Structure 1
Amino acid sequence: MRRIALVTLVVDDYDEAIRFYTQALGFDLVEDTERPDGSRWVVVEPGSAGAEGPGTALLLARAKDDAQRGRVGDQTGGRVGFFLHTDDFARDHARMLAEGVTFLEEPRHEPYGSVAVFEDLYGNRWDLLQPAG
């Protein structure tokens, strides 16, 4: 079996990113390890919030320089770049709203499933998606 295990997400601050992903989105903190260079290896994953078993986790990497800081919140040029699948759209949508997550649209029910675009704390766009069927 092969899969993409981690995707790097450049962030401004480790602790604020951990709080957002674990509290607002309900992710699990898998690892938070200090590295000799002063950085940290921080991994979060949807865990029980995911709908399809083991999937891709996020490596939260603090920006190191101006070029990286310029990409925080715009890693995909303003497009939806991340897709959070759920087995209960209404539950997760309501929970995220209660946690202050900004949705850019009302939920839509498309042939492929229920979906709504939201932003993470830096402005990266995500789909919350419950696939049809």
Structure 2
Amino acid sequence: MITGMALVCVRVRDQQEAYEFYVGKLGLKPTMDETIDGFRYLIVSAPEQPELPIMLVEPEAPMIDDEAARQIRTLLATGALGPGAFRTDDCRATYAELKAKGVEFVEEPEERFYGIDAAFRDPSGNHWRLTQPKPPQ
């Protein structure tokens, strides 16, 4: 039986650039940065959710073949990949904080049926949501 998520992989064009963004701008915590057999395992996580690590992976072997890597790089360049959403307690305040750090937002915070959310892109082009869920009723 599946009991939950163990790891999320996010494709990035450059691991070091991604590290600087996710740790330096978003405030995620590095949990692993180790090269084993030529493959760099670069893993970060949200400070309050270390049990869900995010692995920042360049599209290359041994994970995928050259053609798949080319296709993923094309999707990244066009902003077509959207890995998910980061949760926050205050979307508007987090938006202002991240925008001041140079994060590129493509949507400002807006009220929606599920809460308040905004959208931003990482340096690779990944499209992320920043979501403040409505409190349970």
Q: Same fold (TM over 0.5)?
A: yes
Where structure 1 has 5 or more consecutive residues not aligned to the other structure, the ranges are none
- Quick check: 2:115–2:132 contact (8 Å CA) kept in 1? yes
Taking only aligned residues, the RMSD between alpha carbons, in angstroms, comes to 2.2
Q: Give me the whole-angstrom Cα distance separating, in 2, the residues matched to 1:5 and 1:74.
A: 25
- Identify the residue that residue 59 of structure 1 maps to in structure 2: 55
- Quick check: 1:26–1:46 contact (8 Å CA) kept in 2? yes
- Quick check: 1:119–1:126 contact (8 Å CA) kept in 2? yes
TM-score normalised by L of structure 1? 0.82
Q: Give me the whole-angstrom Cα distance separating, in 2, the residues matched to 1:100 and 1:54.
A: 25
Structure number with greater Rg is 2
Where structure 2 has 5 or more consecutive residues not aligned to the other structure, the ranges are 61-65
* 1-10 or 66-75: bigger deviation: 66-75
In structure 2, relative to structure 1, the CA distance for the partners of 1:91 and 1:69 (3 Å cut) is farther
Structure 1 position 20, deviation (Å): 0.7
Overall identity of the aligned pairs, in %: 34
TM-score normalised by L of structure 2? 0.80
Q: Which runs of 4+ in 1 moved over 6 A?
A: none
Q: Give me the whole-angstrom Cα distance separating, in 2, the residues matched to 1:46 and 1:113.
A: 20
